[in-house]
Amino acid sequence: EKFDPQDAERMSSLLLALVTGHRNVERAVSSSGKRNGSAETTLIGFWEFVRFDIALNERNAEMQFAFRLLDRSNSGFVGVDEVEQLLHDYRDIDPSADRILYSQQLQQLFGKEGRRKLSYKEFTSQNADLLPSVFRNDVRKLSQHLLNEMEAPARLEYPVAMLEMGSSSALSRSDSLSGKAPAVTKDHLLCVVLSSIISRTAVAPLERLKILMQTESISSTGPRRYRGVVQGLKTIYREEGALRHLFRGNGANVLRIAPASALQILLVELLRQSFPESTLALMPSISGYESALIGGAAGLISTPLTYPLDYLHGRLCIQKKSFEPYKGIQDGIRQTIAKNGTRGLYRGLLPTYLGVFPYVGLNFAVYEHIRPLLPRRNDGSGSPTGYGAVVGGIFASATAQLAAYPFDTLRRRMQVVEFVNPSSDRPRLRHIVMDLIRSDGLRGFYRGWMVNFIKIIPSSLVGMGVYEISASAIENFQTQRISSKLPGN
């Protein structure tokens, strides 16, 4: 019902060829657009369906489908004869097929004698030169129909790139033919929010220790009380006498990260969709540096919307039993506005902005550089495994922090300097920099860096684990709901 009759015939043949691996299907599509009679009675096996379902829910499903439709021999490589067969199939309905068939492109790609074969990785970089436009549209429409129009839920995937310093960069590369990421769903956002909340809570003591180490010299000129992870946590517990005080400020952080994560994912999707169709047609996928630009822009737009909670998070983290001016989040907002107006809630926003692009840009650049070294999935896509991607993300994030962490330190010190010293005259950023150099030297810009690095590992693993559990629970619920609607249930 979604396609014209002739298109429906062609789509059915393509789908059958995909699922069965061309078994009993002599031609995926004829010049008239009709299926072979033998294909209409072909039954598919269970494992054929499972393999197809796994491929459908990969991020690069469209690219995989195009490769599988060309690879009629199921060898894992594409030869010139297979490409020519596809072009012959489409020449009556797509003029570009004739142009490609009689151009020099095939000879350049496969050699004069046509003996060269293209692997999946080589195919992804050459597909725009090989595939007629109608075929690309067919694959795109077929995959989008299966993902968005069918009742069966698509598999959710953890956004690996959500390894961050101050705010999430919820973006990862897409290898789809259209250059766009899979559609953002309510289920995906729910899983992201849950994983963000629980992973942040799990490392809240380390986050509080990091902030105390960054800001300690503002109020103390003596020996540093927090000199390492274990010693620092013991000092906090000894001074405050209750385990729950290790989690001071976590409420504000949780209230911030829930909308911040969802906002950034939605903004990234909107920015992706803002790419002109003409650009996407010439560009098989959005590059890592363009992804970094999109992620940085999404961070810049979303940060002001939730920054007041980050401001309060910094101040609540340095409160103690002997120093507790704020009784909670609401009281902190009320006191700040009463003293400095609404602008007071945005103290430290400038260094936050200054640190966004160095962090996001270097993060993506390092990740793209080490991506070929990561363990890969056994599906021919070349994509890293889930935990391989997390390891790569942790390494990239830690490297990016070397460039961006000083801005995080300046942000925290700007947030709390008036809080600790109420008589101070709202120092500007340059004053904060000079005071930090005077009290701690250049090393002061990296106070707490190791704690922050250690925090990344459990936070990432917990986040991914919670996301996978949540996604599985949602998918099981949806599967049971669909099954209950089937006849006989």
CATH number of the domain bearing residue 229: 1.50.40.10
Higher-confidence position of 76 and 168: 76
Crossing angle between the packed helical segments 429-440 and 386-420, to the nearest 10 degrees: 100
64-73, 88-97, 380-389, 417-426: the lowest-pLDDT one: 380-389
SS3 320: strand
pLDDT score at 42: 47
Query: Do 197 and 75 share a domain, yes or no?
Result: no
Three-state SS at 171:
coil
Residues 206 and 72 in one domain: no
Going by C-alpha positions, the residue among 406, 414, 249 that lies closest to residue 346 is 414
Residue that is last in its domain, among 125, 148, 171: 148
**What mean pLDDT is predicted for residues 106-129?**
79
Report the alpha-carbon distance of residue 10 to residue 29 in Å, rounded. 6
Per-residue pLDDT, averaged over 57-76, amounts to 76
Positions of E strands within 204-300: none
Tokens 């002001």 belong to which residue?
304
Is residue 172 one of the residues assigned to a domain?
Answer: no
Which tens digit of pLDDT belongs to each residue from 3-43?
666 677 777 777 777 767 665 544 434 434 444 444 444 44
Q: Do residue 141 and residue 197 come from a single domain?
A: no
Separation of alpha carbons 25 and 39, rounded Å: 6
Same domain, 132 and 198: no
Roughly how many angstroms between the first and final C-alpha of the chain, as a whole number?
Answer: 26
Higher pLDDT, 37 or 464: 464
Instruction: Please tell me the predicted confidence (pLDDT) of residue 366.
Output: 83
Q: Rounded CA gap, 226 and 231, in Å?
A: 7
pLDDT band, residue 55 (cuts 50/70/90): low
- Tokens 């619920």 locate to 477
Ranking 52-66, 121-135, 218-232 by mean pLDDT, the lowest is: 52-66
Residue 154 domain-assigned (yes or no): no
Phi-psi region of 14 (alpha: psi -120 to 50; beta: other; left: phi over 0): alpha
Q: Which helix (H) or strand (E) holds 316?
A: helix 288-317
Please tell me whether residues 478 and 351 are part of one structural domain: yes
Where among 148, 173, 204 does a domain terminate? 148
Kindly report the length of the chain: 489
d(CA 37, CA 15): 15
- The encoded tokens of residue 124 equal 């992804």
DSSP string, 388-401: HHHHHHHHHHHHHH
Predicted pLDDT at 199 = 93
- Please check whether residues 346 and 435 belong to one and the same domain: yes
pLDDT in tens, 466-482: 988 998 888 888 777 76
Question: What pLDDT score was predicted for residue 156?
Answer: 57
Are 106 and 28 in the same domain? yes
In a domain, 61, yes or no: yes
- Domain span holding position 191: 186-484
> Would you state the pLDDT for residue 484?
67
Rounded Cα gap, residues 455 and 209, in angstroms: 11
Name the residue among 439, 400, 435 with its Cα closest to residue 414.
Answer: 435
Query: Domain check: are 224 and 363 in the same one?
Result: yes
Sign of CA dihedral 374, 377, 381, 387: negative
The token duo for 381 is 């896509």
DSSP string, 121-175: HHHHHHHHHHS-HHHHHHHHHHHHHHHHTSSSPPPP---TT---SSS--------
CA–CA distance from 217 to each of 416, 421, 439 (Å)?
12, 12, 7
Tell me the average pLDDT across 112-116. Answer: 82
**CATH code for position 79:** 1.10.238
Residue 158 lies in a domain: no
- Per-residue confidence (pLDDT) for residue 86, from 0 to 100: 85
Q: Of the ranges 321-330, 375-384, 462-471, which one carries the lowest mean pLDDT score? A: 375-384
Same domain, 139 and 201: no
CA angle 257, 60, 25 (to 5 degrees): 150
User: What is the tens place of the pLDDT at every residue in 183-236?
Assistant: 567 888 898 899 999 999 999 999 999 999 999 988 777 788 898 899 999 999
Q: What mean pLDDT do residues 87-106 have?
A: 83
Please count the structural domains in the chain: 2
The pLDDT assigned to 203 comes to 95
Q: Are residues 308 and 372 in the same domain?
A: yes
- Partners of 384 in the beta sheet? 376
Q: Please give the pLDDT value at position 140.
A: 82
Percentage of the chain exceeding pLDDT 70: 74
Claim to verify: residue 313 and residue 256 sit in the same structural domain: yes
Describe the crossing of helices 61-70 and 46-56 by its angle, rounded to 10 degrees: 130
Averaged pLDDT, 47-57: 52
Per the prediction, the chain carries an average pLDDT of: 77
Same domain, 320 and 210: yes
Position 132 in a domain = yes
